[in-house]
Chains A and B, each alone.
Chain A
Amino acid sequence: MRVVIADDEALLREGLAMLLDQAGFTVAGKAANPAELRRLVATERPDAAVVDIKMPPTHTDEGIVAAQEILDAYPGTGVLVLSHYMESGYAMRLLEGHPGGAGYLLKERVSSIAVLADALHRLAEGECVIDPTIVSRLIARREHDRLAELSQREREVLALMAEGRSNLGISQELSLSPKTVEAHVGSILLKLGLDGSPDIHRRVLAVLAFLRSAS
């Protein structure tokens, strides 16, 4: 699987390249800013891009903007945005235009090769990826409202739904049968009053929006 990297910090670019190499990915190119990234994607046509959210010139959300452009121009290319910000708002923004193939992970989590590899493979398959730390924080602050109606198992399923996993992914993660997962998902959507859209991306957005909404 061919991957390009964009980060304005040389130290992190190289570290990330090393990690990806170890995980068995081919690093097809490295960019230090959004313009270089666009050129790299155009010439190398990678399977995925790993993009730092903070890049020149303003060091705020250039990574999200660049990610959306790539998703627009090259459907099928996964884009994983790495961020120091634990902000569900940025994650939502990234997903809203292009739910499939977009991912938002906290930087410190990708040092785990398993996490990084899992995320990139899921993106390549068209799933979306939301950092579990963000999801668990959203769920944790909702102890006293409608989430309390969910069983422990249902909450685990809900968290995985919010992270962008498909029913199959959830069943593998929790070692449940796909049928059981399907039943859980139906029950969760019913209890929370959410639209049971068959489109998994819409489902992620709906669940995230519900979790973010104030009680």
Chain B
Amino acid sequence: MSLARAPRSPFRRDPAPRGAVLTVAAAGAGAGLAGLTVNGAGTLDAAAGLAAGWMLIATGLLQWARSAGLRDAAEKAGLRPVIYAGPLLAASGLAWLVAPWNTPAIGFTPAFLAGLILYAAAPPLLAHAALAFPGRRLSRAEACVLGLAYASAIGVLGVGPTLVFDPVTLGCVSCPANPLLAADAPGAYTGLNTAGIWLAIAWAPALIAALIVQLARCGPALRAVKAPLTVTAACYLALVTWDGRLSLDAGFYGAYLHTAEAVALAAASAAVWWTWLAARRTRGEMARLVVELAAAPTPGKLRDMLAARLGDPTLRLAYPLPDGRVVDAGGRPAALGGQPAGTVTSLSRDDREIALVIHRAGLFDDPALAGQIVAGSSLALENERLQAELNARLAELRASRARVAEAADEERRRRERDLHDGAQQHLTALLFALGAARAKADSAALENAEAELRTAAAELRDLARGIFPAVLADEGLAAAVQSLAERAPVRIVALPARRLRPAVETAAYFVIARAVPESGELTVAAAIRDRRLEIILEGAADLGGGGDLSGARDRVAAQDGDLAADGNGLITVSLPCG
């Protein structure tokens, strides 16, 4: 399955972003170096800023490549993730590196303009990346807050001041000219800046709130993936808010705050790396599980693993069979009826549905996360689906065997009933009549006739009793075997006292009755252990050659039990009796 492996290198398997990756990386490197040369801050701060920017760019590009690979896989599995969290991360890193160029001292007009316009773009870009990570679609409210933040950061703090900023007026003679200058209005420049900062003090906390609300609302598995980036992004936004406050009050730019922001951004990159490691661990576990399941298929183990990974203890797996039925891992029919919308997710491979996941609402809100987990478990899912299909077929076979045995029993009982209700009653009535006749006129002939008739009635009684005595249905296995022991060489060691399912009692009695030998004695020991009826028969008749043993075997197998005969008179039977 195509989901089985995520691409290791963004350059080897995903040609699409390659050009963009190289371009952005080169631009980031250049920007960082340029920033380093012109920034008047201390060397440590400059190095931290540079490292944070580069880390974000690299992380973003790698995330982009990863999610591009996962997107193909997720789409094949029927999911539709969005993948722009990576590019957004890289963009925020780039904006972070470009921001210090807003000083005319840069000496290069396009760079100066970029610095001016993108001066405050990094915070909304990072918040956007964190909200969309790893592949989530934004809610309307989130999009609104983000839109306002972008408009304020790039419009009010970026483009607006750029249009009214003339470096020459502000006393910088050597500065490059501002080609976008629309009107030299120093008052407007200061006003826009102040307004923009005030707005930032509003939208940055609003973005923090949006991040927290989103984190609170997502499922446990998605929360585990999102939490690190969300927390670090929120820290960064908090620092930005503080930064705004300070620059309003003091009008100065604190270098220590810049360093702290750089550290927060570096932590955001590290948070994304951490999710990669976690995903790798999941894949590793899934791979081990596949090997384990291949060695010893255990229905339910994959479910447990997915339930733990996805943090949904109610999770169930179901497998569609070619004939249209849907079964669980054990091959039993799976009930899907009455499931609320959004709690059944279909996983497909090559347009063929391989599994249905029944889960808590909202579990698969992030299709990228789902795709990632499905990618890791696809082989195990496929394996279990085949196992489920096999189990379903076995169950069918068992049911049809049980039906055949049941039909044969029913036919036999019907014949016994006919014998009893017909011939036996008439014989008995005749006996009564003869008895009455003898009372009137006794004769040797009448006495002979009565004796003959009595023998016939006794023979008919034994015939009509059949293989299943009434006492079996009436009083259970123990009474029936006890009764068997009264007319056949059967020694009872132990019998279960309680009643069992009729089908189990019938199967057990059938085996015991058929095992009674022509000569010698059959020893019967039966007990219930671990919800199974275990029977040991010693001195059993050799049933191997005839159809009897296969009949017994069929009956036991029809009840999902086991029968073993050693050929020397020892038969062991184990029947589930729940």
Contacts and interface: CB of A to CB of B under 8 A. Distances in A.
Interface of A: 9, 11-12, 14-16, 18-19, 21-23, 60-61, 84-90, 106-113, 116, 137-138, 141, 212, 214-215
Interface stretch (B40-48, B54-62, B216-224, B456-464): B456-464
Interface in B301-348: none
Task: Report which residue of B420, B429, B450, B458 has the largest number of chain A beta carbons within 10 angstroms of its beta carbon.
Answer: B429
B432 interface: yes
Contact of B479 (A11, A23, A60, A89): A89
B486 A212 contact: yes
A141 B489 CA distance: 8
7 contacts: A22-B440, A23-B439, A87-B470, A88-B486, A89-B483, A111-B431, A214-B493
Given A12-B428, A85-B470, A107-B428, 12 more contacts: A12-B425, A15-B428, A15-B432, A15-B433, A18-B436, A19-B432, A21-B436, A60-B474, A106-B461, A108-B454, A108-B461, A111-B453
Nearest to B458: A108
B426 interface: yes
A137 B487 contact: yes
Given A87-B471, A108-B461, A113-B438, A18 B433 contact: yes
A84 B436 contact: no
Contacts of A15: 428-429, 431-433, 436
Contact of A214 (B439, B464, B487, B491): B491
A9 B487 contact: no
A142 to B, nearest CB: 10
Nearest to A89: B479
B543 to A, nearest CB: 23
Given A113-B435, A113-B439, A214-B491, A108 B428 contact: yes
Given A89-B471, A111-B454, A137 B486 contact: yes
A21 B433 CA distance: 12
B470 A60 contact: yes
A76 B429 CA distance: 29
B485 interface: yes
Given A107-B428, A108-B428, A86 B461 contact: yes
Interface of B: 420, 424-429, 431-436, 438-440, 450, 453-454, 457-458, 461, 464-465, 469-471, 473-475, 479, 482-483, 485-487, 489, 491-493
Contact of A111 (B432, B473, B479): B432
Could you tell me the dominant secondary structure of chain A's interface residues? helix
Tell me the interface secondary structure of chain B in the complex: helix
B471 A90 contact: yes
Give the residue among A22, A109, A214 with the most B Cβ atoms within 10 A.
A214
Nearest to B421: A9
B473 to A, nearest CB: 7
Contact of A12 (B432, B450, B461): B432
Contact of A85 (B438, B471, B489): B471
Contacts of B493: 214
B537 to A, nearest CB: 14
A137 B462 CA distance: 14
B485 A108 contact: no
Given A108-B461, A111-B450, A88 B483 contact: yes
Contacts of B440: 22
Contacts of B428: 12, 15, 84, 107-108, 111
B461 A215 contact: no
A215 B482 contact: no
B213 to A, nearest CB: 67
Contacts of B420: 84
A84 B471 CA distance: 12
Contact of A87 (B432, B473, B483): B483
Most buried by A among B428, B450, B471: B428
Given A108-B457, A215-B491, A84 B432 contact: no
Nearest to B465: A85
